[in-house]
């Protein structure tokens, strides 16, 4: 067999052997009412105990290592009658389906965990509080600098 035909055969077989770029692993995280989360991927299921975060208003679900750590389509499902979270990691697009909130995202790699913060009805909590305090400190520093400049 000539070298160029052998090279062409090897190249075409390697292209068809690899999964297409649009193929993604489906990852589903379902928070259940007894304080657990159920992590499901194509062909495997792992039940993981939810770790309580710094406040009772936060839920975390660790994601076990996947066999193929490539791009994932993530679905996060909340129990019936639970409100949509106030904040989450990773960022999710939320829709209500059959009385349950479902968050979805496409990610380049699986996350190490999913974190949800319950909406506290207007109270500033967690990362939002840190952002608010940072902005407040920057404004105070700016006002102090302007005031000090006028005093000179």
- pLDDT band of residue 25 (cuts 50, 70, 90) is confident
Domain ranges in the chain? 3-121, 123-152
DSSP string for residues in 79-104: PTTPPPEEEEES--EEEEETTEEEEE
d(CA 126, CA 131) in angstroms, rounded, equals 9
- pLDDT band of residue 136 (cuts 50, 70, 90) is low
What is this structure's pTM?
A: 0.61
For the chain, what's the residue count?
152
d(CA 39, CA 141) in angstroms, rounded, equals 46
């Amino acid at each position: 067999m000539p070298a160029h035909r052998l090279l062409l055969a090897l190249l075409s077989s390697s292209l068809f052997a690899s999964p297409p770029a649009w193929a993604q692993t489906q990852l589903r995280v379902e928070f259940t009412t007894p304080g657990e989360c159920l992590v499901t991927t194509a062909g495997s299921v792992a039940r993981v105990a939810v770790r309580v975060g710094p406040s009772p208003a936060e839920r975390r679900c660790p994601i076990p290592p996947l066999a193929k750590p490539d791009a994932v389509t993530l679905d996060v499902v909340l129990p019936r009658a639970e409100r949509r979270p106030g904040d989450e990691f990773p960022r999710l697009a939320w829709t209500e389906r059959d009385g349950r909130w479902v968050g979805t995202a496409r990610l380049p790699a699986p996350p190490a965990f999913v974190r949800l913060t319950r909406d506290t009805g207007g109270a500033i909590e967690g990362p939002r509080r840190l952002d608010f305090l940072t902005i407040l400190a920057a404004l105070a520093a700016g006002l102090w600098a302007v005031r000090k400049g006028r005093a000179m």
